[in-house]
A = this chain, B = another copy of it.
Amino acid sequence: MTASSPSHWSSAVSDITPEDVYVRGYPIQSLMGSLPFSAITYLVVRSRLPTPGEARMMDIILSSILDYGLQKAGTVAARAVVSVNPQMTAGLGAGVLAAGENAMSPEQAGRFISDTCKSWKQSGQPMEAASKQLVSELRAAGRRVPGFGHPVFRGVDPRAEKLRIAAVETGVWGEANEWYAAIHAAFRAATNKPDLVLNDVGMLAGIMTQMGFTPQEMAGIAILSTFPGLIAHISEELRSGVRNRIIADQNVDYARARHDLALDMKARGWSE
């Protein structure tokens, strides 16, 4: 049986003995209370202890998305589900599915940063020249750069700025961030949009790339940040007394076509 046999499994996340559970090689009883949960999150996902700086950065990352009221599709989905099926797990199941290409996930930006950073380093080109060339290629191909732009903020996205400062202070800031910032500068110049921000999702992606997370792990961590909010919203919904969330008719355009079944069946060749 090989490592990729579909009924044989390998894992280095944790293992169990009769006395304890070993998480990434550390007894869980020694972890509890010795390291903050955010540091343990880093350990569990990245498979090594963080430095205090990395642990602090991780904590700030986990605190950076949190919640977005009813302007977040995952919250709408989670609450709709429990209005009918009043189970915490069911609401959480729906809520975590609502992160992806269109919102709430640094995965696309993370993939862009790590892929282009790798190509640049293989090329041996200076950063500035390479970033300018990449931007011009992307624009020629009509491709957008994930992580740029914001509906409200111009110049600087304050949350992104806070993340950037934290990354510098905690010693996490590095090459991947510099590379992404260079693309940002090149993009601003090439499009003549000096106010276009590097937004919070882009900044998160850059920092997590530098911290060694894969793009898919970044999606998981972003969802983890919103998990307390999902719990709170589901709990709020369960207390609300609403049974079966719906969209009011005035907020829906229904086509309201009317057809005659017997007539149409005949026309389609259905005999009596």
Q: Which residues of A contact B (CB under 8 A)?
A: 3-16, 18-38, 40-41, 44-45, 47, 49-53, 56, 59-60, 62-64, 66-74, 76-81, 83-94, 96-105, 107, 152, 158-159, 162-163, 166, 214, 216-217, 219-221, 223-224, 227-236, 238, 240-248, 251-259, 261, 264-265, 268-270
Q: How far is the CA of A8 from the CA of B83 in the complex (A)?
A: 12
B49 touches A265 (CB 8 A): yes
A22 touches B93 (CB 8 A): no
Q: How far is the CA of A238 from the CA of B60 in the complex (A)?
A: 27
Q: How far is the CA of A256 from the CA of B25 in the complex (A)?
A: 6
Contacts of A6 in B (CB 8 A): 83, 242-246
Copies of this chain present: 4
One of B25, B45, B91, B228 near A231 (C-beta < 8 A): B45
Q: List 5 A-B contacts (CB under 8 A).
A: A49-B264, A72-B246, A76-B245, A77-B77, A224-B228
A228 touches B86 (CB 8 A): no
Q: How far is the CB of A17 from chain B (nearest CB, A)?
A: 9
Given A59-B37, A254-B15 in contact, is the A52-B268 Cβ separation under 8 Å?
Answer: yes
